[in-house]
Structure 1
Amino acid sequence: MCVQEAEQVPEGMDNLGLDDDGENHKSWSLPTELVNSQMENWGKGNSSGQIPLGNSFPLESICEDAMVAGRRDNPFNNFIPALRSGEWSDIGGRRDMEDTHVCITDLAKNFGYNLLGEEVISFYGVFDGHGGKGAAQFVCDRLPRVIVEDADFPLELEKVVTRSFMETDAAFAKSCSLESALSSGTTALTAMIFGRSLLVANAGDCRAVLSRHGMAIEMSKDHRPCCDNERMRIESLGGFIDDGYLNGLLGVTRALGNWHMNGLKEISGKSGPLSAEPELKLVTLTNEDEFLIIGSDGIWDVFTSQNAVDFARRKLQKHNDVKLCCREIVGEAIKRGAMDNLTVVMVCFHPEPPPHVVVQRQRVGKSISAEGIQNLKYLLQG
């Protein structure tokens, strides 16, 4: 996670309540009216049933690939994922570990709920903190419960997940107003698997990549200032991009937390350019889908999406151990010079290792020009 260096923080931002030893001696003022207003709008009692997503620009979040949607309706698609997961993390080249993650096999049962007649819903997440681990740990602990306790869970998961991200963000703001030492931010990427459906929600620059018969399918977009859609959204809300940073401060354009940073979450009592609203992607899994990799941005600094899939397939074909595969991905990232915190969560959909893929190479005809032939004759004749 990239936060601009302290000397570039605007005047007044150095008084966040911590001294050189990290002790909490001062407090900061939270925009209480804004948070209270958002909490009311995001509450479950919203009679309109609509989520006020004021930071959307545009909302292209919930989508399902048409081809995959067709497969779901295919009566011959009887694929049932056999889930097995693993995870690994490392502090990398940083002084502090600010990543955290969660793997929950049965989300409802984990919090004491029984969904009669409903499929098991599995939940996985990676949270990449910045400015401290407070926000990452808070969201990791709180978000799954907020999702389960939503009145529309599990029937309207897309709406529930989006609302839960934003409710958790507002709840963190409230906690920070009581304990300023928590002041920090985090990106968040979650994946929920229910039946043959995979729903990924992302706010920030963690990334989820699906391996489909060896091909990398990106299930999320990195929310960074260089993205044109994000830039337009930011500028429409009064924000700006300075030297590749949101308002000159932050290297991501969507995150939870950061309520202590002036002008990011609110401007004159209105929603600011840093959004906690996740973008969603929903697909239907088929027999071709092998595994899902979720990684913090430190992984993707040194791996391309396809490279990570290729590396993971080779390791799984060798030993078929998901946790060991995660450890090897992190180890390889360190060898490649990754300097950030590193976290990988991996979910496999088959008990067997991925099959070897035979790449059909196209035959290429070779020819030589007339000029080339003459030059060759000249060389051969001396």
Structure 2
Amino acid sequence: MCVQEGDEQVDQEIDNKKMSSWSLHCDLLHAQMDNTEKDSSFRISSDKITLTNSFPLESICEDAEIAEKKQNLINFVPNLRSGEWSDIGGRSYMEDTHICIGDLAKKFGYNVVNEEAISFYGVFDGHGGKSAAQFVRDHLPRVIVEDADFPLELEKVVTRSFLETDSEFAKTCSIESSLSSGTTALTAIIFGRSLLVANAGDCRAILSRAGGAIEMSKDHRPLCIKERKRIESLGGFVDDGYLNGQLGVTRALGDWHLEGMKEISGRSGPLSAEPELKLMTLTKEDEFLIIGSDGIWDVFRSQNAIDFARRRLQEHNDVKQCCKEIIGEAIKRGATDNLTVVMICFQSDPPPPLVVERPRVRRSISAEGLQNLKCLLEG
């Protein structure tokens, strides 16, 4: 009994301290303590709300933050605007191609119960010719729509469609060998507040969220440790940074004419057409998505591209013009590959200016640095 009574006194002291802290931090709430009661309750007279055993202010702040994020998700409806631009760059042949479809189901005459449009965007970077890139551009959207699970299980649908389109191209090349070639493929599907990116190759998709760059895809190259382990487990190898000494990418559609790439002794080879997927729920903070062929990323870092695009959109808010300016800047920076950019904006207004607080950093120089500086000054 004595121990329990002591605990009650300690609890009451803690509660009283919480009441004091609460009144100091929150000017809007005027707590009235009732010393005659033992339950340490307080009353807000203006709203006639009684709270027992008050909780710290931090809990309310966390709850409010979570509620605000949920509200952003519920209330946000993307207002899609898109633009695109491409250039042959420093190459003799243009092997890039792209596609923008505002309503995928309507495009192919598919009746969807939900009236919400499913938008489709893609960039395809061909190699060894342009046939594979053009074939995938023309056939992949149709294969997606005709899948039995469309539009309910889009992640499974998209993965199957990449593989099926790859098989269709193999059959086409067996009839007409002159079409033999390969292509990387990166697609973005937007339905409601969801963004689904599928990538096979080294094109790249970058999402701007409140001015920060979020990479929605990973470059599939032989020097990537994960990809290297995968291709070696399938009988492939990396030679001088190239898959089997021939390709600079580890995932692509086509290339059936290259021995030991797609098949080895009747089993799957190291070059895969299976895409990696990334699904994101869009919020009010999401501004736009940039999809670019690898020639863009040879001269732009992901955050650099976002910063450049934001500045241009703030100037004129013209998506197509922004794409043109990105490619123009890439050429100025010395890009030599084919260049293609597709941009999808989720807002009708241009991105807002960012307010960045400069951190106070104390800079110092090491003893070694001081000695080097002294020697430099003394000659």
Measured in 2, the distance between the counterparts of 1:179 and 1:159 equals 30
The answer on whether the counterparts of 1:71 and 1:284 sit within 8 Å (CA) in structure 2 is no
Shift of the alpha carbon at 1:75? 4.4
Distance 1:371 1:80, change over 3 A: closer
Q: Deviations over 1:61-119 (max 9, x none)?
A: xxxxxxxxx89992452111000000000000000000000000000001111212242
1:18 maps to: none
Measured in 1, the distance between the counterparts of 2:78 and 2:115 equals 16
Distance 1:201 1:72, change over 3 A: farther
The answer on whether the counterparts of 1:208 and 1:219 sit within 8 Å (CA) in structure 2 is yes
1:176 matched to 2:173: yes
Look up the equivalent residue of 2:239 and give its one-letter code. Answer: D
1:308-327 residue pairs with structure 2 within 5 A? 308-327=305-324
1:352-363 residue pairs with structure 2 within 5 A? 352-363=349-360
Measured in 2, the distance between the counterparts of 1:166 and 1:118 equals 28
Distance 1:361 1:149, change over 3 A: same
Distance 1:86 1:371, change over 3 A: closer
1:203-282 residue pairs with structure 2 within 5 A? 203-282=200-279
The answer on whether the counterparts of 1:239 and 1:246 sit within 8 Å (CA) in structure 2 is yes
SS across alignment from 2:112: coil
Measured in 1, the distance between the counterparts of 2:230 and 2:364 equals 52
1:330 matched to 2:327: yes
Larger Rg: 2
1:85 matched to 2:82: yes
Identify which of structures 1 and 2 has the higher relative contact order when contacts are C-alpha pairs closer than 8 Å and 6+ apart.
1
Spell out structure 1 runs of 4+ moving beyond 6 A.
Answer: 70-73, 367-373
Measured in 1, the distance between the counterparts of 2:173 and 2:194 equals 36
Distance 1:190 1:370, change over 3 A: closer
1:111 matched to 2:108: yes
More off after superposition, 71-80 vs 250-259: 71-80
Measured in 2, the distance between the counterparts of 1:320 and 1:358 equals 20
2:47 maps to: none
1:123 maps to: 120
Q: Deviations over 1:255-286 (max 9, x none)?
A: 00000000000001110000000000000000
Q: Deviations over 1:291-310 (max 9, x none)?
A: 00000000000000000000
Distance 1:368 1:253, change over 3 A: closer
Percentage of pairs with the same residue: 79
Q: Deviations over 1:157-183 (max 9, x none)?
A: 000000000000000000000001100
SS across alignment from 1:100: strand
**Equivalent in 164, 181, 186 of residue 183 of structure 2:** 186
Structure 1 unaligned runs (5+)?
Answer: 1-69, 374-382
The answer on whether the counterparts of 1:135 and 1:257 sit within 8 Å (CA) in structure 2 is yes
Distance 1:187 1:366, change over 3 A: closer
Shift of the alpha carbon at 1:364? 2.4
The answer on whether the counterparts of 2:202 and 2:220 sit within 8 Å (CA) in structure 1 is yes
The answer on whether the counterparts of 2:72 and 2:283 sit within 8 Å (CA) in structure 1 is no
2:295 maps to: 298
Look up the equivalent residue of 1:269 and give its one-letter code. Answer: G
Tell me the C-alpha RMSD between the 2 structures: 2.1
**Equivalent in 152, 157, 166 of residue 155 of structure 1:** 152
1:23 maps to: none
Count of aligned residue pairs for this structure pair: 305
1:74 matched to 2:70: yes
The answer on whether the counterparts of 1:183 and 1:257 sit within 8 Å (CA) in structure 2 is yes
Distance 1:350 1:267, change over 3 A: same
- Give the TM-score taking structure 2 as reference length: 0.78
SS across alignment from 1:292: strand
The answer on whether the counterparts of 2:72 and 2:284 sit within 8 Å (CA) in structure 1 is no
Distance 1:369 1:236, change over 3 A: closer
Q: Deviations over 1:154-209 (max 9, x none)?
A: 00000000000000000000000000110000000000000000000000000000
1:15-164 residue pairs with structure 2 within 5 A? 74-77=70-73, 78-164=75-161
Q: Deviations over 1:291-334 (max 9, x none)?
A: 00000000000000000000000000000000000000001001
The answer on whether the counterparts of 1:193 and 1:199 sit within 8 Å (CA) in structure 2 is yes
SS across alignment from 1:74: helix
Measured in 1, the distance between the counterparts of 2:209 and 2:178 equals 43
- Give the TM-score taking structure 1 as reference length: 0.77
Structure 1 or 2: larger helix share?
Answer: 2
1:287 matched to 2:284: yes
Shift of the alpha carbon at 1:367? 7.0
Look up the equivalent residue of 1:134 and give its one-letter code. Answer: S
